[in-house]
Structure 1
Amino acid sequence: MREMRDSPVPAGLGGAAASADGLTVGRVADSLGLTVRTLHHWDAVGLACPSLRTRGGYRLYTAPDVERLQRIIVYRELGLGLTGIRALLDDSHAAAPAELRRHRERIRERIARLEQLDTGLERMISAHERGILLTSEQQRAVFGPDWDPAWVEGARMRWGTTAQWAQYAERSAERGPEEWQTIADAMAEFEGALADAFDHGVAPGEPAADRLVDRHREVFSAYFPLSRSMQVCLARMYRADPAFAAHYDGIRPGLADWFRAIVDESARAHGVDPDTAVWE
């Protein structure tokens, strides 16, 4: 009969006794939420071996075997590798607290790193949604009293799905008031140089004008990389958009038109047709 063939050694145990004294691999796997393959692997490496076998060679786990498996599961959920688990189970119990303390310290370090990552992700999400991680008061302190924080929301609504907005947001996530102040100062210096050149009658295509065009791309790259073709589109927007036009013409009447002219001329000199330039 199958019950007698599969009864565990020692001889004399019947089918009912076999069920009471040992559990098959399948039943243990189901009860502990493991796979049969995992139990076979732990058996093969000597980490958790079933103590009994039937005469037919089937593995059977005793109650102490299952208890050892439960401890292995706990240690594995704590992040220990099989070597470390074996040491805890088989070495002197006196070494277990020290090993567990070491592992606890490693877990605390991981938690600290994850908390830093969580903070960074939170800032990244906010930057994508808000553009600038400054309060309205901080924005006006950095960009001037005429600054309208609603402009950032307008930019997000207009360009929030573009690759450039993503680049802008990723850089914004790492910036505080001091970093933004540095950027604002650099842009103010550039606009001052732009006004001086305009006052001195610098013409489009002259070396001084071309240097200003290059300087504009360099300063603007604090937000995201700007190609010559994109710069043409941006200069066109400075002239066409009422808010931008008012800003540049507020520095010098006619400055928006002149800036577009020097950008267009520089683009032509570098093989970019302003009439067909596109946002890349």
Structure 2
Amino acid sequence: MTDTTGVLTVLTVGQVAEQFGVTVRTLHHYDEIGLLSPSERSGAGYRLYTEADIVRLQNVVVYRRLGFSLEEITALLDDATGGSLAEHLRRQRAAVMSRLEEMNDLVTAIDRALEKEMSGVDLTREEQRELFGDGFGDEYAAEAQERWGDTDAWRQSRERSARYTKEDWARIKEETDAVNAEFVAAMQAGLPPTSTEAMDAAEHARLQIHERFYDLTPEFHRCLADMYVADPRFTKTYEDVAPGLAQYVRDAIHANADRQADRA
């Protein structure tokens, strides 16, 4: 390395340690094992690092961050076929990409384990899909956590569902199917969403959530109903049961919320 006048300069061990965030003791150890020996010495015998030494240290730091052992790093840097900076950079890039793939796989595994721990649902993936079909997806749980994770409703739902067994979830699925069947029967009979039958089905849907998961007022239920038509994924859940059901359920829930407000 050179200073502003173009004169070759060297760095002391303390200066190198400060610049690269390593300890003096570490640099001494690198010298002792032959990984990084300073090329020059001062008149008093102190270690002095040249530009070439600094480049080598830069490579050492990168490889250490990638998890290579000191022995592996020594072999890499002393390889006569890979001594150029460009070659080291290519190696380092390849190593980083390999570790990124490993880290991504590890993060995915951790996320799955964490989700299972947090969900409180003691079901395997296969069991979840067996009960709830392909509409059950990891993205829904992740989005729900992001959207409502700080709400009392979310915490209450987690606390309740943590106690549910596979048999409990099977009964909840049966209840949901029964409520949907009420909506379908009313719709296919030509009854408007404001009919008693449709509003009763909406109230049964509200009570199921209220009793099984979290306290759900008619007004809160009205907000949920809007998502059934605003979010294509929720819409599809109902449309797979019967065409037009999503809008019908939404309107019936609104009508029931109005009915409950009139009774208050």
Q: TM-score, normalised by structure 2?
A: 0.52
In 1, the alpha carbon distance for the partners of 2:175 and 2:129 equals: 16
2:122 to 121, 128, 133: 133
The amino acid of 2:236's aligned partner reads A
Identity %: 30
Q: How does 1:1-280 map to 2 (within 5 A)?
A: 129-130=118-119, 132-221=121-210, 222-271=212-261
Offset, 1:165: 0.7
CA distance in 1, matches of 2:253, 2:119: 30
CA shift, 1:205, in A, is: 2.3
CA contact (8 A) 1:171 1:223 kept: yes
RMSD of the TM alignment (CA)? 2.1
- In structure 2, stretches of 5+ residues that fail to align are 1-113
CA distance in 2, matches of 1:165, 1:233: 15
Shift, 1:128, TM fit? 7.7
Change in CA separation of 1:146 and 1:232 when aligned onto 2, cut-off 3 Å: closer
| Count of residue pairs the alignment pairs up | 148
Select the structure of larger CA radius of gyration. 1
Distance 1:171 1:236, change over 3 A: same
Could you tell me the TM-score, scaled by structure 1's length?
0.49
After superposing on structure 2, the runs of 4+ consecutive aligned residues of structure 1 that deviate more than 6 Å are 125-128
Given that residues 228 and 234 in structure 2 are in contact (C-alpha distance below 8 angstroms), is that contact kept between their aligned partners in structure 1? yes
Cα deviation for residue 179 of structure 1 reads 0.8
The aligned residue for residue 10 of structure 1 is none
3-state DSSP of counterpart to 1:253: coil
Letter in 1 for 2:242: R
SS of alignment partner, residue 204 of structure 1: coil
**Displacement, 1:166?**
0.5
CA distance in 1, matches of 2:146, 2:121: 14
- What is the CA distance between 1:130 and its match in structure 2? 2.7
Alignment CA distance shift 1:126-1:153 (3 Å):
closer
- For the 8 Å contact 1:140–1:147, the answer to whether it is kept is yes
In the alignment, the residues of structure 2 paired with residue 268 and residue 199 of structure 1 have an alpha-carbon distance, to the nearest angstrom, of 23
Give the secondary structure class of the aligned counterpart of 1:144.
helix
